[in-house]
Amino acid sequence: MTQPARILVVNGPNLNVLGTRNPEVYGAETLADLEARVRRRAEALGVEVEFVQSNHEGELVDAIQRARGEADGILINPAAYSHTSVAIRDALEYAELPVFEVHLSNIHRREEFRHRSFVSGVADAVLAGAGPLGYELGVEWLAERIAAR
Ligand code: CA2
């Protein structure tokens, strides 16, 4: 029997305080709500998910590096590091896995500095502005992509 696909779900800085402020931008769901939603969708699709959230760039790099050989795909919201981190971009390239970049808000409708994401250039798919549903769509996209290997 083949093993279920494994998807690493990576959340960057400040996403641990989701749902406590700025609901007009990020919605009312907490990170735990978001993870429960992703887990439900993953179960329905028959894929495994592992969650990592960190406020520290190096910890995110470590988790992404470990995914090489351990996971089959990466769903990532790099949060503020999207706009600054060459290190996260390089780690994603190193992982050599399908990458789906997701943002809760539409970064292109916000401040200029959020319009550029260093990660988008190494992501296979990018979705911004669909809220928590974007994470579910990301898991579904990755499940299909992995199954098509
Ligand atoms: O829209 C997204 O998903 C972002 O990646 C979220 C980041 C932001 O820096 C990106 O530009 C877009 C912010 C993560 C959460 O930040 C909070 C700030 C205040 C209250 C709660 C969360």
CATH superfamily of 6-148: Dehydroquinase, class II (3.40.50.9100)
Please answer whether residues 119 and 92 qualify as being in contact, where contact means their C-beta atoms are separated by less than 8 angstroms: yes
Question: Per-residue pLDDT for 1 more than 90?
Answer: no
pLDDT band at 141 (very low <50, low <70, confident <90, very high): very high
Please answer whether residues 145 and 98 qualify as being in contact, where contact means their C-beta atoms are separated by less than 8 angstroms: yes
Q: So what's the pLDDT on residue 2?
A: 79
Alpha helices in 2-132 (DSSP H): 23-26, 31-45, 57-67, 86-95
Q: So what's the pLDDT on residue 33?
A: 97
Hey, which residues are catalytic here? 26, 103
| 4 CA from centroid of ligand 1 (Å) | 31
Q: Whose CA is nearest to atom 9 of ligand 1?
A: 80
In angstroms, the CA 17 to CA 3 distance is 34
Counting Cβ atoms within 10 Å, is residue 129 exposed (0-12), middle (13-18) or buried (19+)? middle
Ligand 1 atom closest to the Cα of residue 13 is 14
Q: Whose CA is nearest to atom 16 of ligand 1?
A: 14
| 149 CA from centroid of ligand 1 (Å) | 33
In angstroms, the CA 9 to CA 53 distance is 8
In angstroms, the CA 72 to CA 109 distance is 32
Q: So what's the pLDDT on residue 92?
A: 98
Q: What is the residue type of 69?
A: G
Q: For 50-82, what is each residue's pLDDT tens digit?
A: 999 999 999 999 999 999 999 999 999 999 999
The DSSP element (H or E) to which 138 belongs, if any, is helix 133-147
Q: So what's the pLDDT on residue 94?
A: 98
